[in-house]
Structure 1
């Protein structure tokens, strides 16, 4: 097994820039969450408003985990590239990466909307549906597809070197989209968990962001991924009798429909 990205040499400047961007995204997300009532659904947003907030959330949660990939990509570029060139190319990669998550946001909007409707119309069924979604997310953690996507995210050197030889203005955007697609394949189950517990649930956002970071960068990340899957299944077992565990599928008493 190749060593995880966090143990390889990285470019400090790219880490600082991406962590600063993630911190800004967190600040904006927290500010947005302060004006929203907790509960199920799409946070009271239409499609475009939801996608804006989703993009902020993905930047906050995912940019720390993608920082090692960006640093590694910069090392595959030709040595005579200027600082401005490297900055522009890494920015293109990050934009492409976030575009992949924005595309997934379309599906997330549909799931969030459906969860809000279900919570309002059939609270009893919503608890069981939420439990099943958590079980599904937990089971996905132990599938070969999850393992393949996670292996790519932990050791993407081969594909980065391949794409590093491409030319054209959109080459870096293409790299970002490609890597983002694997990241979506790796983490979509955890994003379903986020919808189940409430899209703007900041505590769960922080916990899942840490989980994603550990999966991708810790040397025991693959084992941690399996443990996380078992933990989600165990959590799901309590949900039907404790609906408060899944606020994303529960309408609080007195909450307007």
Structure 2
């Protein structure tokens, strides 16, 4: 008997489970890992020269966005790699290896553009908090407490849960993306997924205001938390635990407990340690 396809069903490679050859799959993972590693090298090298301080630390907007892009590539690409590789599987039968690599790179470019757009807001927030700390050094603990409290409340809220579910199980959206038309389809897919990722993780970036935006240890900790939230089977529970921990840190910041290590990104030169 002939199998009759249901009317209206989508016969797309993503639904059929197309697999890349093992060698090409390894190349895709290796390239993403290489980009992330190079981004970490650039970020660490720049952080050593800048140190940890309040605000934008004297960087202009263009340089800040360049550094922010490197940071996001370092912190976010490991957790988005499975989605990028899944998209590459979906287009496996539609193009050759070189074209597929280009399209996957375009997907990653769109993803990073979404985070670069958020970097504009981050720059404004850092400039504002840096100015407040310079004028009122004692305001640092209140800014830090507000940042931790905001992150904690968002981690426990419904919007975080919605965006995290998308990032953990994006297959339905990837299938819907098949209706997008070229030539900007892959860029749109990356932008759309990146927007969900920003919605999932922006509050975790906020904690870098008190911890220090160029604090390598803090960046590594946040990147690890993001990776586990998205890929570990207990990721949603971990997100809630992190939310409670951030609320506790907000209380400690108000009480000025462990202020020397809790708020290094809000320590004005005039503030006694």
What TM-score, normalized by structure 1, do the two folds share?
0.92
Aligned length: 247
Equivalent position of 2:139 in the other structure: 125
| 1:129-176 deviation per Cα after TM superposition (whole angstroms, max 9, x unaligned) | 210220110110011100000000000001111213422111100000
For the pair shown, the structure with the greater C-alpha radius of gyration is 2
1:49 aligned onto 2:66: no
1:104-149 residue CA offsets vs partner (Å, 9 max, x unmatched): 0000000111111111111222211210220110110011100000
1:82 is the counterpart of 2:96: yes
Q: List alignment gaps of at least 5 residues for structure 2.
A: 1-18
- For each residue in 1:47-84, what CA deviation from the matched residue of structure 2 results, as whole angstroms up to 9, or x when unmatched? 11110100000000000000000011112225252111
Matches within 5 A, 1:149-160: 149-160=163-174
Structure number with higher relative contact order (C-alpha < 8 Å, ≥ 6 residues apart): 1
Unaligned runs of 5+ in 1: 1-8
TM alignment of 1:110-149, pairs within 5 A: 110-149=124-163
The range that moved more, 244-253 or 35-44, is 244-253
Please name the residue that 1:3 is paired with. none
Distance 1:175 1:77 in 2: 13
Match of 2:265 in 1: 248
Q: What do you get for the CA RMSD once the two structures are aligned?
A: 1.6
* TM-score, normalised relative to structure 2: 0.87
* C-alpha deviation, 1:252, in angstroms: 3.4
Contact 2:137 2:271 in 1 (8 A): no
2:212 maps to: 198
